[in-house]
Amino acid sequence: KMAGSSAPWIGSAYLFLQSTCKTIVLPSLYESSQKKSGVFKALKLAFADSTGSMNGVDILKVHCSHPHLIVQLKFCKQENCRRFLQSYREGALRESLQNHLQLSLVMTTVPLEMELKAGNEHLDNMLKDEDRCLECIYREKPDRLRDEEITELEECLKSLIVHQSINNNMAVKDCASLSSPSLPYPSQGSSLSAQVTFIFQGQQFANRTLTPDDHQKFAKLVSKKWKQVGRSLQKNCRALRDPVIDNLALEYDREGLYEQAYQLLLRFIQSEGKKATIARLIAALEENGLISLAEELLGLHSSEDCS
């Protein structure tokens, strides 16, 4: 039995991924030299979220089998595999991967269907029996070493994270923010933007990261000018290029202006992290003549004056 053996616990499984959106073809994105590293990064970070460790599961190979992207996985510890299965069963893995793909590829949403197999066994049919799933994965020993291309992508991702950490002078926090898509708002406090204060209408204000309250007020009050504000923010935010703003307008057209504006600022907050500051948003509002909204965000008058 697997628990009684002194040998290390090693198992293998295949994760089948398919986008349910006709315009997003995962194998084509992975085959694209510009997008491959983004897809790989999203996979690694989602698996890290699901197991609690960047090394919780090893990617051996990524197969492109249209319309599926098939990821061959290797587990080296039973507890990591158990965490992965729980995350998969509860839908947390899917949600995490959707978030990371959205951020890495600068897209609106990437709806996913997933299927997990070990050998001939379809694990989706037995997810409630975790021990049986573990047994199936344990029986399937990896039939290959890690693909050379995967090794190269791993090295690129490591150097990217280290490079970002050096640039931001916050190694641990940067890695944590990379793997926490469910927490879009950076924690208040240390490591704010280098700009500690800013001037608005002759008054000095403390700069700070945007809060959920800022986010909701902006979405509620910006109205039809949300696109113009997005274009002002895009000057130093790569995640808000014109195609992204246009996609948001189309995708959330039926939900209305509030949701369009909310999703725009969410994209800004997720991509910029601690650099998503009130000073940057106020500057964008000023540029578009939205002085009343800027005053509201800075607490200079009550909501009634803005409506």
Q: Residue 169: what pLDDT?
A: 47
**Which residue has 């319309």 as its token pair?**
67
**pLDDT winner (highest mean) among 158-172, 202-216, 233-247, 276-290:** 276-290
Class of domain 11-155: alpha beta
Q: Residue 167: what pLDDT?
A: 53
User: pLDDT tens digits for 236-271?
Assistant: 888 898 889 999 999 899 999 999 999 999 999 988
Q: Residue 197: what pLDDT?
A: 86
d(CA 95, CA 41): 15
User: pLDDT tens digits for 92-134?
Assistant: 999 999 999 998 888 778 899 999 999 999 999 999 999 999 9
**Domain chopping of the chain, boundaries:** 11-155, 197-298
Q: Residue 68: what pLDDT?
A: 95
pTM of the predicted model as reported, rounded to 2 decimal places: 0.55
Task: Assign 79 to helix, strand or coil.
Answer: helix
Q: For residue 178, is pLDDT > 50?
A: no
Assess whether the region 11-155 and the region 197-298 belong to the same CATH fold.
Answer: no
Q: Residue 92: what pLDDT?
A: 94
CATH 1.10.533.10 fits 197-298, yes or no: yes
Mean pLDDT of 268-294: 93
Q: Residue 236: what pLDDT?
A: 85
Q: Residue 288: what pLDDT?
A: 95
**With the C-alpha atoms ordered 145, 149, 153, 155, is the resulting torsion angle positive or negative?**
positive
Q: Residue 306: what pLDDT?
A: 45
